[in-house]
Amino acid sequence: MSQKDIPLFLITGFLESGKTQFAKESVLTDPNFVNGDSILFLVCEEGIEEYDVEELEKKNVHVEVLEQEIDVSTKILQGLYNKHKAKRVLMEYNGMWMLSTLYENMPDDWAVYQEFSFADASTFAGFNANMRALVVDKLQSADLMVFNRFTKDMDEMEFHKIVRTVNRRAQICYEYTDGKINTDEYEDPLPFDMEAPVIEIPDEYFAQWYRDVTEEPKKYIGKVIEFRGYPMSDKRFPPGTFAFGREVMTCCVEDIQYCSLIVSAEASRRVEVRTWYKARFKVEYKFHRLYGQKGPVLNLVSLEKTEVPEQPVATFY
């Protein structure tokens, strides 16, 4: 985020998850946030708790309601921003709307500064089971995930695992009904041996490994890894270069994508695309023009055809 960007403070979560309470008690009472500058406050969901619009206007906080997802358009957002000559934007987003709608339509000079997500712990499991795509949508970019209405009979680790499946950087808090607040400090050991001479990636953990190697590639420098996948090629690739990976599903069929890394091999090496191989590589971290930046490059050690995994599409769960 540059100094010229308009900061957007985003609050997400499902209906009655505590979004409004957080906005009223933590954000709109903070003198560092409400400091006299014009603030555009976009409300996309009206719950039981309501805002005192007249009182907020006195603080130069201008409430605008977006009633439908179609209202989250560049034209409308820019128009409301210009109307109030705002210095920053606060947005309470509708939990049933996909965040991609917002990200694709934000004015060019807007940038998400912080994203807070909230969930009622007593109903979260049901949402996760029945509306997985919406849950993942709200988890994957959150900076802070708060589970409120937490009770002593609930297992924090179960909630932790759901969040960490799609977001490894978010801070997680558990707000208990008795007023106690726990900050999540659970460690997530990787499900494969990073100290082994050859790091073998089991089929069921490919998605976790792929996320780890793309987020923290430097820790794999010089490591030898082995996993099953299939190659893909492109006319832009020079001889001996191909992509190797497999399809990954984050939450639903619609988001399946081929997740791969660049492989460097001898120019004479030939592979059959979309054919499954067990492959062994030595990892480098360097600039590659196909990435356009530094990234993990897999130097081919060995390659042999293998059978298709029992579950060809890798998942995080």
Q: Report how far apart, in Å, the C-alpha atoms of 315 and of each of 4, 125, 164, 210 are.
A: 39, 19, 13, 11
For the segment 62-77, the average pLDDT, to the nearest whole number, is 96
* Confidence class for position 2, pLDDT limits 50, 70, 90: low
End-to-end CA distance of the chain: 33
* Helices 121-130 + 156-166 axis angle, to 10: 40
pLDDT at 115: 97
Q: Report how far apart, in Å, the C-alpha atoms of 272 and of each of 231, 290, 310 are.
A: 7, 20, 20
- Tell me which residue of 198, 201, 150 sits closest to 172, measured CA to CA: 150
Tell me: pLDDT of 254 over 90.
Answer: no
Q: Is there a contact between 202 and 212 (Cβ–Cβ < 8 Å)?
A: no
Residue with the larger pLDDT of the pair 183 and 49: 183
- pLDDT digits 0-9 by tens, 120-135: 999 999 999 999 889 9
* Confidence class for position 168, pLDDT limits 50, 70, 90: confident
In this structure, the strands spanning 224-232 and 171-176 are unpaired
Side-chain-side CA neighbours of residue 161 (13 Å): 9
Measure the CA–CA gap between 218 and 201, rounded to whole angstroms.
18
pLDDT at 23: 94
Instruction: Quote the pTM value.
Output: 0.74
Mean pLDDT of the chain: 93
Quickly tell me which residue has 């996309």 as its tokens. Answer: 44
Indicate the Cα dihedral angle 214, 215, 218, 224, nearest 10°. -40
Tell me: pLDDT of 47 over 70.
Answer: no
- pLDDT digits 0-9 by tens, 205-246: 999 999 999 999 999 999 999 999 999 999 889 999 999 999
Tell me: pLDDT of 152 over 60.
Answer: yes
pLDDT at 50: 83
Which of 44-53, 135-144, 300-309 is least confident?
44-53
Q: Encoding tokens for residue 56?
A: 């907020």
pLDDT at 25: 93
